[in-house]
Structure 1
Amino acid sequence: MKLIKLGLLSVLVFGMLFWGITLLFPANTVISRVRNIGAAETALAKSLETNLISAKTLLVGNEPMLVKTADIPFYENNLFNSLSAQATPHADTLFFQIEKDAAVVAKGGIAFYQLQSDSTTTQMFYVFQTPWYKPLLKMKMMMADKAYGPGLDSALKRLETAWMQTKADSTHQP
């Protein structure tokens, strides 16, 4: 009987210790990819904002999902709002939120940095927020780069292809 009590107490103590340590894991997970695109920052951002390049096609392809975009963040009381006062004057970000069946699938943004006159460094990122009391979900999101990274890479490649197509179409018009 003592051995069973000791085993149950050990499982309980180690479970509480594990759960306590997972409280130190971050609640926000940011997954990001970057690509240089041969365009001016304002032209690239404007083509997305005016829907010359479709943000929906860029982000979800042909999937039946709703994409909302804005020039202000969708995120309440977290690192984006605290950094907005310190925004670089050479940076512009288009924030997005992807929904399917009225549930938010992903939140993120596309940031444009004009570091050189002939190209724009384009960063696409997803932000995942997990509740503090779900330790296994927080651990899973820390490993989510392999799951979501290729999608970000292909979206940036689609953006570059769409920009080159738009640029080619504008030079061939009379």
Structure 2
Amino acid sequence: MMVLFAPGMMPCSWKAVQQKTIWGTFLLLGGAMTMTTAMTQAGVAQWLADHIHSMVVGMNWWQTVLTMMVGTHIIRLGMLSNVAAVAMLAPVVFAMAPKLGLHPVAFTLLVCDTDTFAYLLPTQITAAVIAHSTETFSTADYAKVGSVAVLIAIAYGVCVMAPWYALLGMPVWNPAAAWPF
């Protein structure tokens, strides 16, 4: 990066680089990545997961999965990276499954897969931040379309993927089912 921006090292001038760079997007990406790291290191995600856990105790499997899917989307509002979010949430969700009487692999796959469809704010996905910087759509427009996409992903997870995992031998409602692969 230093070579790119060092005066005289590249054929373009600093003024040209400065004029064609979306500085607001750089600052937003840097801030969002820092916030993701801070949430992880401060234990905020674990704290939120503990609160969600207390809400789902005693629910049947589909209510638990549904609540966890919605809950992780709330946790994801402050996170930019899907990879960082799943890396942070997957161990928490996996550890929570036996306490709830659910299959850990199926439960983790269902909740974390749905979490990859975090389209409520443009700041939740790097590509959306870049697209949003073009100013061709507003955050409200993004949220309207994104909320529908999130609801479809949640319905797909509960109504299609949960039965599919059961067909593969990992029913989310049976914690004793062996990992078939």
TM value normalised by structure 2: 0.29
- From the CA coordinates, give the structure whose radius of gyration is larger: 1
Report which of the two has the higher share of helix.
Answer: 2
Return the structure number with greater relative CO, CA threshold 8 A, min gap 6: 1
Report which of the two has the higher share of strand.
Answer: 1
